[in-house]
Amino acid sequence: MAIWISQKAKPLGNLPYRWGVYVGMITAWMAMPLFISSVPALAGGHLLGGSVLFINGMLAAVASLGILQRWKFGVVSLGLAYAVLISIAPYLAPMPNWPSLFVISSQPSSATELARQAISFPWVISFGFMAVYLASTFVYFKNRWEWMQPAKSS
C-alpha cells in the first residue's frame, strides 16, 4: 500500500523520492545483521560462510548509500544484494541464542525439506510479500530513474 501511495502521489516540491528514502533506510538495517553475523562466522573459521555474509552486507550497505544519494548504482546494488540473499537462503539458519542473526550451514537443506518449507503457509506468505516488495520497488525505481544521477567521480 505504501509503495502504491508513493507511486501515485504527486511530488512534494523537489521530493519525488519518498519510497526510495524508505528503501535506502531499510536496506541499511538489512546490512547490519549481515555484517554482525559475519564476525562470529569468520572468527570461528568459517571463511566461506562469513565472507558471503560480509559481501552481502557490503552490497546492502552500498545499495543503501547509493539509493539515499539517488545514485543509479544503488538500485543495481540492491538487486545484487537480494539476488545473493535469495541464492544463499537454503544455507541460512538462525544463529543459536541470537535468532535475528544468521549462520550459514555447511549443508543445504535436502530437497524434501526445501519442498516441505516451500509449501508451508509462513513461507508462502513471506515469499509472497518479498516478491511484491521487490517487484513494486523495482517498478518504482524504473519510474524514477530520470531523477537519479550516476555517482560523481572524484
- Cell reading at 44: 570461528
pTM for the model stands at 0.74
Question: 33-54: per-residue pLDDT in tens?
Answer: 889 988 888 888 888 888 888 9
- Cell reading at 145: 530513474
β-bridge mates for residue 95, sequence order = 98
Distance CA 16, CA 121 (A): 37
Distances (CA, A) of 6 to 18, 33, 144: 6, 27, 11
Question: 80-134: per-residue pLDDT in tens?
Answer: 998 988 888 777 777 777 777 777 776 767 778 777 776 777 777 877 888 888 8
